[in-house]
Amino acid sequence: MKLWTVSELNKAEASEIQTKYELPAIVAMLLQIRNINTQGEIEDFLYNDSEIASPYEIKDMDKAVSRIKTALDNDELICVYGDYDADGVTSTALLYSYFDTIGANAMYYIPSRETEGYGMNNSAVDFLKEKGVRLIVTVDNGIAALEEIDYASSLEIDTVVTDHHMPTGNLPNACAVVDLHRQDCQSKFKNLSGVGVAFKLIMALEGDYCDANSLLDNYADLLCIGTIGDIVELKGENRVFVKRGIQSIMNSDRVGINALVESSGLAGKNLTAGNVSFTLVPRINAVGRLGLSGKSVELLLTEDEEQANEISSQLCEDNTERRQIETEILNKIDFEIQQNPSLILDKIIVIDGENWHQGVIGIVASRIKEIYGKPTIIISRFGDTAKASGRSVEGFPLCDAVFACADLLTHYGGHPMAVGLSLESKNISLFRKRINEFANSFSNMPFDKLNIECKLNPSFITVDLVQSLSCLQPFGSGNPTPIFGLYKMALDNIIPLSNNKHLKLVLSRNGAIINALCFFTSTEEFPYKKGDLLDLAVTLDTNEYNGNVSVSVIVKAVKADSDNSLEILQSERIFEEFCLGNPLSKQQLLSILPTRDDFALLYRFLKSNGGYNFSFDTLVHKLDNKLSFGKIRVILKAMNELNLIEVCESMKSSTIKLNEVRGKVSLDSARIIRKLKEECYGE
């Protein structure tokens, strides 16, 4: 379960926005909730599709331009040194394409994720030296390549760094270090992706003749894919890039993008940032994850339709293979968790395995984080060495936790929500211990949140209301698809769809009836029954069929109306802290110490239902909120110890099976109960 939160709304301010800008009420409310409330902010958000700040606001941009122009004047071979993800690939294609357009002597280089890893490396520098490269321009990397840039300098190769990652210490000794996050950079907008920084570079190279609008016409498609792929906030200039880019992708002159749109099944559809994020970006990323990033750059640069079709088909096949690898790793992790449930008790989940594909472990970390609501680091061991990728929850700076363990790491980097690192395999256990010590010292460790923009009266949901939301697009990081709350909804019917693969929920409140779609959930997996009063977090869309437009309500999360998500999560954390041996107050211990009556209540429920096959947090509702979730967890653990039941927790489901019981069983003989009483009363 996530922590359900509802944003605060200033109704007076929203009403003022609605009147002043003649906007639908729901749009004005969402702008106010998202703190877009000044005239400049509102006009920029709703109407700006071309205004870009001067590239010279970025520190060292003048130095970068000077060194590159010297290379152009002297016909020096320039290498665009990129990265293997969607941001790095589009950055490379954008800058190389620009160099090609102006007749520069240029090449590009993408390191192999498998054999070289992220960023510059000395072997690559040696290769570029042999090719005759005199200037390296990094895109989407370079800020951490201090030693490699010094090595390149020793070979008489200069480097211009363009990057958007956080510096971890000293800056590299490059001709120019163009990075928005260096402390002395005064640029107002800091959240550009790597491709956004590369675009600023070509703006600067255009000089006094720069026409940003014309450049956007040429490069908005690449900017859109890279910006969305890097999950930077879709605000300010990023919003401009994506708005223009979505239009550009559907009318692109780039044959590679046209081929990818066609092979991805998006041709003829209404393209959204979501389509780009979930369809185009994964395919571009897939070849990088599987070690063939150069293919993605080739696709974006080729002018040959046959080659474009061939590469785009390969990207789709690689994406399918990537999903299969991801599923295999998740299944292995699921098995490990079933064998050792204590793995998910820590505040930061750290799981390692042998020879897991390093190009996929970041996605796996995201999946685990989403399931358990905790920062997660997945480590792949390759003999004596290991590589890892991590993802965090909002409010916890995972990069700080990793930096605190720097003495155990051979390489590391990242930002608050995502990290990458390398270490010796022998240090994994110590790393798990140390990073969780950091988490334990972190004041008010946050819960993973489900942010609901506002509660909606179901009778207000109309086609007009849903269509009015389109002016807020594109949706993405920093400007998410609005999630609305439908509270105290009576569940009138549950209808299976597509051979019970999905569900349609018929819900009502005060005479208003809503049909909501619950995807990838069968009737057997849905823990609620007709007559239950539910709270639902939903997104809204429209659906057109035979010329008729209707509202589509999509369920993102559901809980019993009686459930208090904060109380459930707090109680679960007390249980986890107790299991880990962390200090707790007597009041906290008593809150999870069950009585005999508590045991009897839960056991009778399990016996009358023949066990239980749903998420354990739903037991709070099933037991009419008579037991805290922490108590339920303690009782289940105790009964499992005493062989009264068999508990199996997996990522996909949680099950409780009743065992045959002969004779009386002393509940106090369970280790967890003895330990609880000892810590509570000193018994």
Which tens digit of pLDDT belongs to each residue from 355-383?
999 889 999 999 999 999 999 999 999 99
388 and 471 belong to one structural domain: no
574 and 474 belong to one structural domain: no
358 and 411 belong to one structural domain: yes
Residue 31 placed within a domain: no
- Average confidence (pLDDT) over 381-406: 95
Task: Tell me: pLDDT of 482 over 70.
Answer: yes
- Average confidence (pLDDT) over 64-89: 96
- Average confidence (pLDDT) over 126-132: 97
Least confident piece of the model among 259-268, 290-299, 613-622: 290-299
pLDDT over 70 for what percent of the chain?
A: 99
Task: Tell me: pLDDT of 289 over 70.
Answer: no
Looking at residue 650, its pLDDT comes to 85
Task: Tell me: pLDDT of 288 over 80.
Answer: no
291 and 420 belong to one structural domain: no
Residue 491 placed within a domain: yes
Q: 566-578 burial by CB neighbour count: b if 16+ within 10 A, else e?
A: eebbbbbbbbbbb
Last residue in a domain, options 377, 410, 445: 445
Looking at residue 72, its pLDDT comes to 98
> Does 290 or 40 have the greater pLDDT score?
40
User: Which residues constitute the domain of residue 395?
Assistant: 340-445
Looking at residue 291, its pLDDT comes to 59
DSSP 3-state of 610: coil
* Three-class SS of 360-417: CHHHHHHHHHHHHCCCEEEEEEECCEEEEEEECCCCCCHHHHHHCCHHHEEEEEEECC
How many CB atoms are closer than 10 A to CB 88?
33
Looking at residue 665, its pLDDT comes to 87
**How many distinct structural domains can be found in the chain?**
4
Residue 28 placed within a domain: no
Residue 416 — very low, low, confident or very high, per pLDDT cuts 50/70/90?
confident
Residue 20 placed within a domain: no
How many CB atoms are closer than 10 A to CB 500?
12
Mean of the per-residue pLDDT values for the chain? Answer: 94
Task: Tell me: pLDDT of 292 over 70.
Answer: no
Residue 200 — very low, low, confident or very high, per pLDDT cuts 50/70/90?
very high
Task: Tell me: pLDDT of 156 over 80.
Answer: yes
* Per-residue model confidence as pLDDT tens digits over 627-675: 999 999 999 999 999 999 999 988 877 899 999 988 888 888 999 999 9
Q: Number of helices (H) and strands (E), helices first, in the chain?
A: 25, 20
- Average confidence (pLDDT) over 523-527: 94
266 and 151 belong to one structural domain: yes
On whether the CB atoms of residues 522 and 529 are closer than 8 A, the answer is no
Residue 118 placed within a domain: yes
